């Protein structure tokens, strides 16, 4: 069996490996391991997990503890419990391992019966600058997936710190540029892994994230609407409660366009544009479908078009429509409106506050990471040059 150009191997009881070629063996489950901090989980992390799942059948995500992350990188913004819950909610993850070791060893892969581990094509270093995947790479049990262009935690934090409306349309804003200069670069140049880029939506990416499932007879169609900006643990708890409202739920999330969100949220909201919010919500296991640019008022046309059985909203404030009317008047009139208490009152505002408070630590952490990455790049370059010199010398000797 070839998965993404690599031969999967069958491990027998004695620990020997043999390629899986015969049809009867093709049925065996290929188990994959991904690990990380998963602090401030965004659609880039989800995309990495999606790609990893495509390389096999069963995906285990190992999430590091607060203590481990603090030792290697500096304190995380989100607690381990919050981070475990966020990763569990990503639909491509089959199982999570709490408190996974920071350095991925063969022992860990064997303990969880994983064929290989998958990581993004950026670099991960330990506190002393070593590649955390060195051992599994040497053993040929490492696979790589592409980093998602246009999103990074650094960039998102930069947008939060700006509090200006410009980040959706104007990346040349001098304040933003200055922030990225301070934030994504140390004094000695620029690392391609931590720098800032812009996300470009494609129909292909939406297809990859979408479930593609139509509602089935007997499904309860539940509609919820909002900004779902900086998709976070508060949203996950709410959507999980919504999902539990029916035996066979089909949850549709209506996302408002950026301009609409800015009308009722003000400041520089939304922090993520409509394309980014679409992927963030589609990655959640409780969501079946997303309406991109949903009307603010949940009216007759929308309810009839999707044959909606139930409309839910959380405990957050419902802002009136432009004409001052209640956007939920129609579902209330039909008796299909329900307020859901998820027991979690965390909002996007709270997340932004938390990150701004951690700003200095975050910036320091980033510059440290940047310096490490640049050092590794320089070492790689040096090694390459040395190899070229040796080859050149050998070629001369041959003549």
Q: How confident is the model at residue 9 (pLDDT cuts 50, 70, 90)?
A: very low
Top CATH class, 203-346: alpha beta
User: At residue 13, does pLDDT exceed 60?
Assistant: no
Give me the mean pLDDT over the 203-209 stretch.
95
CATH architecture of 31-145: 3-Layer(aba) Sandwich (3.40)
Of the candidates 258, 41, 291, 39, the one whose C-alpha atom is nearest the C-alpha of residue 167 is: 258
Phi, psi of 160 (to 5 degrees): -65, -40
Average pLDDT, the chain: 83
User: At residue 1, does pLDDT exceed 60?
Assistant: no
Q: How confident is the model at residue 223 (pLDDT cuts 50, 70, 90)?
A: very high
Cβ atoms < 10 Å from Cβ of 259: 11
Q: Which one is predicted more confidently, 399 or 203?
A: 203
Rg (CA), the chain: 24
Give me the mean pLDDT over the 230-245 stretch.
97
User: At residue 194, does pLDDT exceed 60?
Assistant: no
Q: Which one is predicted more confidently, 366 or 4?
A: 366
Between the ranges 119-128, 236-245, 388-397, where is the mean pLDDT highest?
A: 236-245
Distance CA 364, CA 336 (A): 50
Cβ atoms < 10 Å from Cβ of 72: 18
User: At residue 197, does pLDDT exceed 80?
Assistant: no
User: At residue 315, does pLDDT exceed 80?
Assistant: yes
Give me the mean pLDDT over the 60-66 stretch.
97
pLDDT of residue 126: 62
Q: How confident is the model at residue 7 (pLDDT cuts 50, 70, 90)?
A: very low
pTM of the model: 0.78
User: At residue 185, does pLDDT exceed 50?
Assistant: no
Q: How confident is the model at residue 187 (pLDDT cuts 50, 70, 90)?
A: very low
Which residues on neighbouring strands pair with residue 291, listed in sequence order?
254
CATH 3.40.50.620 residue spans of the chain: 31-145, 203-346
Distance CA 36, CA 42 (A): 13
Distance CA 210, CA 101 (A): 32
Which residue pairs, CB below 8 angstroms and at least 24 apart, start in 376-384? 376/123, 376/125, 376/129, 376/131, 377/191
Distance CA 387, CA 176 (A): 41
pLDDT of residue 95: 98
User: At residue 28, does pLDDT exceed 90?
Assistant: no
Contacts of 320 (CB under 8 A, 6+ apart): 326, 327
């Amino acid at each position: 069996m070839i998965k993404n150009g690599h031969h999967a191997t069958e491990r027998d009881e004695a620990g020997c490996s043999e390629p899986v070629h015969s049809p009867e063996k093709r049925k065996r489950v290929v188990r994959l391991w991904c690990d990380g901090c998963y602090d401030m989980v965004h659609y880039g992390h989800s995309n990495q997990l999606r790609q990893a799942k495509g390389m096999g059948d069963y995906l285990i995500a190992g999430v590091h503890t607060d203590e481990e992350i603090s030792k290697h990188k500096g304190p995380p913004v989100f607690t381990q419990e919050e981070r475990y819950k966020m990763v569990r909610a990503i639909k491509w993850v089959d199982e999570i391992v709490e408190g996974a070791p920071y350095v991925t060893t063969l022992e860990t892969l064997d303990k969880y019966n994983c064929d290989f581990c998958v990581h993004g094509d950026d670099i991960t270093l330990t506190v002393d600058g070593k590649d955390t995947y060195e051992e599994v790479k040497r053993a040929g049990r490492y696979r790589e997936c592409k980093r998602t262009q246009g999103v990074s935690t650094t960039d998102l934090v930069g947008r939060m710190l700006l509090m200006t409306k410009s980040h959706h349309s104007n990346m040349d804003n001098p304040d933003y540029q200055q922030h990225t200069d301070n934030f994504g670069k140390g004094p000695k140049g620029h690392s391609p892994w931590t720098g800032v880029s812009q996300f470009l939506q494609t129909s292909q990416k939406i297809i990859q994230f979408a479930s593609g499932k139509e509602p089935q007879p007997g499904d309860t169609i539940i509609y919820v609407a909002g900004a779902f900006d900086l998709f976070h643990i508060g949203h996950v708890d709410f959507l999980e409660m919504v999902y539990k409202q029916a035996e066979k739920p089909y949850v549709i999330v209506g996302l408002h366009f950026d301009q609409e969100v800015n009308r009722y949220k003000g400041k520089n909201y939304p922090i993520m544009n409509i394309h980014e919010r679409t992927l963030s919500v589609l990655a959640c296991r409780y969501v079946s479908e997303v309406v991109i640019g949903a009307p603010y008022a949940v009216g007759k046309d929308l309810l009839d078009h999707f044959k909606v059985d139930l409309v839910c909203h959380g405990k957050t404030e419902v802002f009136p429509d432009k004409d001052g009317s209640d956007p939920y008047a129609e579902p209330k009139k039909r008796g299909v409106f329900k307020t859901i208490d998820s027991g979690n009152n965390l909002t996007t505002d709270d997340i932004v506050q938390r990150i701004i408070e951690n700003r200095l630590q975050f910036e320091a952490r980033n510059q440290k990471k940047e310096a490490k990455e640049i050092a590794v790049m320089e070492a790689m370059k040096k090694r390459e040059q040395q190899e070229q010199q040796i080859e050149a010398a050998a070629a001369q000797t041959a003549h």
